[in-house]
Chain A
Amino acid sequence: MTTAPTTTAGPAPRTRPELHQSNVAQTWAMSKRSILALWRQPALVVPSMIFPLFFAALGTASFSRATAIPGFPEVDSYLDFALAGAIVQGILFGSTVGATALATDIENGFFDRLLSSPSTRSGIIVGRMAGGMAYGFLQTVVFIAVLLPFGLTIKGGVPGVITMAIGGTVLALAVGALMSAMAIRTGSSEAVQGAFPLLFIALFFSSAFFPRETMSGIYARLADINPISYLVEGFRDLTIEGFTWSAAFRAVVIPAILAVLTVTLSLRTLKRRLGAR
């Protein structure tokens, strides 16, 4: 057997271009990619726009008399009550799309291409989540815009709408990061999609569709400890009571706290994955 040669085998390397990586530019480029992916897959995006509106319409038609139940907040129509649940439901739906795309990147190897480049690891993940945030913002604005002609009144006015749009965007980040952590951990788009019903159960055990005041037993206790209840109620108070700092705090700060936790979780999961592989 021969051993390693001792001479240079070929021509010397060329002079290469100067490379100046920018974390901001990398994250922005990754964000544009994830927004583009949503734009180019309407079949994945449309259900998360249509179903929450459908549920809101169905609820308004079926539960309009529920507004008379003792404990139900005073509203002009059930639609005012339903908006908050529709927004949160839509964002839960939509956030799965971005995380599924991340899992697909891992499955098909594109993630490895990104990791073999000198881009920041957090930029790859944050860029992916930014697409979800943009979509969360769009969903909130579209839901409000579509339901306004059908009798929706937002007592919080323009400040209320702006707060809800910010809250929706941050919530999309929080849920997107949680689902992304799952995508990074499993590397399986099926696993991410399979986890979606869990989010939906969490939504049902909250005050998304009925006020906590009308609940009893285990259902009420679960809704009481479910953070989704509080952020939904923040959105709802902005709609049916008017703009208050307390409501704005719940609509924005609760998802923000969740986002800090879930983004940390997803970055840690990524670090563990890279270290362990």
Chain B
Amino acid sequence: MPTTSTNSLPIEAIGLQRTFGTGDEQVKAVDGVDLQIQQGEIFGFLGPNGAGKSTTVRMLTTLLRPTGGIGRVAGFDVVEQANDVRRNIGVALQDAAIDPLMTGSELLHLQAVLYGLPKSTHATKAGELLERVGLTAAGNRRVGTYSGGMRRRLDLALSLIHEPTVLFLDEPTTGLDPMSRISLWEEIRRLNNDGTTVMLTTQYLEEADQLTERIAIIDHGVIVRKGRPSELKAEVGSPTLFVSVDAAATEPATTLLAGFGELRPSPEGTLGVGLTDGPSAVSNVIRTLDDAGITVRNLELHEPSLDDVFAEATGYRLEGADA
């Protein structure tokens, strides 16, 4: 078995391409994607439906052959060394694809055989993973009786049986209730703290904001934004300050606020201003209003959200985006 180079990146794509169909009907689903994901990183991969997210992930997980470019995972080429890639990655794809006729424990045993774990470790490993994802009591029940959250957790456990160094999670929390989502986030953070590199595909911008260190946004098969969420948000523009003052002071307050940046739409009873100098201007705003004898009733600073970044990059706003 070839060994992975110590300086190789856990996930790397260079000009990765995938076309479907031929002739006039040819569609470029992924058109030259470059990604460099660092050891120990949680990397968020975002994009509208049909943008090329899943196609990219399928190529990196050896489920789909690229039609161009290079994909390397754990230091191995996804085409030439596909089996080495498979030994090193854990994959939890969309919709928690699990055989409903089998029990959680049986599936973990099957997975242990497929990955070639020593037989003597199967039972211990299955028990540990069931406990880790809180499914010990349900381990001997058929998966068909599990709730959506339980299936997701089992799916994650299945992808961890061989202790992969790189984990691909494709929309792991879609359709989960908030509690299940948070518990899955905690598990992902724990895994990452143990040294697992995670590539997370998600539709939830809040999830990307909470979990990931860097993100890439793909649209029409091309990476349109890449970087740290805070940097990308800063690129979108200045934060908005919402100020509440007494009704009588609205007019002079508006004039004063206009001195700190462009006035922005705001909820009723508040005034909104985009702070040209960023959050550091907040203290100046308060001082200026105070000097003019205007009492500030309430103050809220809204940083640009990932939703703003996403919308600016793709022209779409995701449903329920709130980050």
* Interface residues, chain A, with chain B CB atoms under 8 Å away: 1-5, 7-14, 16-22, 25-26, 29-30, 33, 36-37, 40-41, 105, 108-119, 274-275, 277
Q: Is the CB of B118 within 8 A of A18?
A: yes
A4 vs B41: C-alpha distance when bound (angstroms): 12
Contact A117 B86, beta carbon cutoff 8 Å: yes
Q: How large is the interface on B (under 10, 10 to 19, 20 to 34, 35 or more residues)?
A: 35 or more
A113 to B63, CA, bound (A): 9
Contact A12 B113 (CB under 8 A): no
Q: Which residues of B contact A29 (CB under 8 A)?
A: 109-110, 113-114
Contact A1 B39 (CB under 8 A): no
Asked if A9 and B162 sit within 8 Å, CB to CB, the answer is no
Q: How far is the CA of A101 from the CA of B102 in the complex (A)?
A: 13
The minimal Cβ–Cβ distance linking A78 to chain B, given in whole angstroms, is 39
* B196–A17 CB distance below 8 A: no
Which single member of B41, B98, B102 contacts A33 (CB below 8 Å)?
B102
Asked if residues B113 and A13 are in contact (CB atoms below 8 Å), the reply is: no
- A113 contacts which chain B residues (CB < 8 A)? 91, 93, 97-98, 158
Interface of A is mostly: loop
Cα-based distance from A175 to B197 in the complex (angstroms): 44
Whether the pair A110, B195 counts as a contact (CB closer than 8 A) is no
Smallest Cβ distance from B120 to chain A, in angstroms? 11
- Tell me which of A5, A109, A118 contacts B95 (CB under 8 A): A109
A277 closest partner in B (C-beta) = B64
Provide the B91-113 mask, 1 if CB < 8 A to any CB of A, else 0. 10111011101100010011101
C-alpha gap A55/B34 in the complex (Å) = 63
Of B110, B113, B226, the contact of A2 (CB 8 Å cutoff): B226
Neighbouring A residues of B225 by C-beta, 8 Å: 1
Whether A10 touches B39, Cβ cut-off 8 Å, given contacts A1-B225, A17-B163, A112-B63, is yes
B102:A36 contact, CB within 8 angstroms: yes
- Please measure, in the bound complex, the distance between the C-alpha atom of A195 and the C-alpha atom of B36, giving whole angstroms: 47
* Residue in B64, B99, B192, B231 whose CB lies within 8 Å of A10: B192
B40 contacts A9, C-beta separation under 8 Å:
yes
A105 to B102 alpha-carbon distance, docked (Å): 13
Q: A5-B38, A19-B115, A118-B116 are in contact. Are A37 and B65 (CB under 8 A)?
A: no
Chain A CB within 8 A of B117 CB: yes
- Return the contact of A19 from the options B36, B58, B110, B162 (Cβ within 8 A): B162
Q: Is the CB of B116 within 8 A of A20?
A: yes
User: B10 to chain A: which residues have CB within 8 Å?
Assistant: 13
A1→B213 contact, CB < 8 A = no
* Bound complex: CA A117 to CA B93 (Å): 13
In contact, B97 and A10 (Cβ under 8 angstroms): no
Task: Write out the residue numbers on chain A whose beta carbons fall within 8 Å of the beta carbon of B115.
Answer: 19, 21, 117-118
CB neighbours of A111 from chain B (8 A): 97
**Once the chains bind, are B61 and A116 in contact (CB under 8 Å)?**
yes
Separation of A186 and B232 alpha carbons in the complex (Å): 43
Q: Which of B157-211 contact A (CB under 8 A)?
A: 158, 162-165, 192-197
Cβ of B80 under 8 Å from chain A: no
Closest 3 CB pairs of A and B: A10-B40, A109-B97, A2-B227
Q: Does B89 contact A (CB under 8 A)?
A: yes
Contact indicator B228/A26 (Cβ below 8 Å) = no
Q: Does B145 contact A (CB under 8 A)?
A: no
Expressed in whole angstroms, the minimum distance between the Cβ of A76 and any Cβ of chain B is: 43
Residue pair B227, A20 in contact (C-beta under 8 Å) = no
Instruction: Please name all residues of chain A whose beta carbon is closer than 8 Å to the beta carbon of B58 when the two chains form the complex.
Output: 277
**11 A/B residue pairs, CB under 8 Å, sorted by A:** A2-B227, A8-B38, A11-B193, A11-B194, A14-B163, A19-B87, A33-B102, A33-B110, A37-B101, A117-B111, A118-B116
